[in-house]
Amino acid sequence: MNLEILCSQVQWLAREVGRFIYDERLKFTPEDIILKGKSDMVTYVDKTSEVRIVAALREMLPGSGFIAEEGTATSNGEKYRWVIDPLDGTTNYIHGISPFAVSIALMEEEEIVMGVIYEISLDEMFYAWKGSSAYMNGHEIHVSKAATTADALIATGFPYYNFTKLDQYMVTMNYFMRNSHGLRRLGSAAADMAYVAAGRFEAFYEHALHPWDVAAGIIILKQAGGKVCDFNGGENYLFGEQMIACNDNYFEEFYRIVHQHLA
């Protein structure tokens, strides 16, 4: 399998689906919004986008499985599995704000070997594959060199259904707001991780995440020189619903702060 060629095909697909998402943004009505939870929404745009993505990926890589947010297709122990979020940032999209993104990753067994994140409103395509550099719109990207909280701009995501760590979360937010360049909550974990990879943020952390939120971002960030772990410093970040993502220089300090309160 040539991952570079496959990655180019997936980028084309993400851009095509992104165009559909962008064009539909003013067409749906409140009646088109389905509540999966109090603050967890989905529209026909999410569902239609996922159907299109799954159909195209099945042609690109026959016999592959799927881990997909809207449940269009499933995995049954296949060697290759696609991890798909057809529209990461649905709440932003519904309210007409950015960012919102298409996120597609490929796993071989338990390893993520390719990732594509297309941030639609800015027309920014982030991507990487096993053994490559990380790129944005054809230009190589790298994590920042900042090494301390005092020099960091940090991204996070607020929980919208699992509030078990809310008090501890507020402690970390208080610390970072007082001691860093600032704390941002963009509403798209895929965009957050892409922006860490591109050096726009120094770090990102969040809990109550799903694999489709972060799979593509994991490999893009790693290939850009960053590090990821769970709140205990381990590797249960894809399916463990928690993520620490950071540049290399700042990683140890950032991890200690998050681990102290959220482990």
Q: Which pLDDT belongs to residue 138?
A: 98
Q: Which pLDDT belongs to residue 41?
A: 66
Q: Which pLDDT belongs to residue 35?
A: 65
DSSP 3-state assignment of 156? strand
- Please report which helix (H) or strand (E) contains residue 252, including its range: helix 251-262
Q: Which pLDDT belongs to residue 36?
A: 59
188, 100 contact by CB (below 8 A): yes
Class of 149-262 per CATH?
A: alpha beta
Structure confidence by residue, pLDDT tens digits, 175-198? 999 999 999 999 999 999 999 999
Structure confidence by residue, pLDDT tens digits, 71-90? 887 888 899 999 999 999 99
Q: Which of the residues in the chain have pLDDT under 70?
A: 35-41, 161-162
Q: Which pLDDT belongs to residue 98?
A: 96
DSSP 3-state assignment of 128? strand
Q: Which pLDDT belongs to residue 40?
A: 55
Domain ranges of the chain: 3-141, 149-262
Q: Which pLDDT belongs to residue 159?
A: 72
Q: What angle do CA 104, 207, 69 make, to 5 degrees?
A: 35
CATH topology of domain 3-141: Fructose-1,6-Bisphosphatase; Chain A, domain 1 (3.30.540)
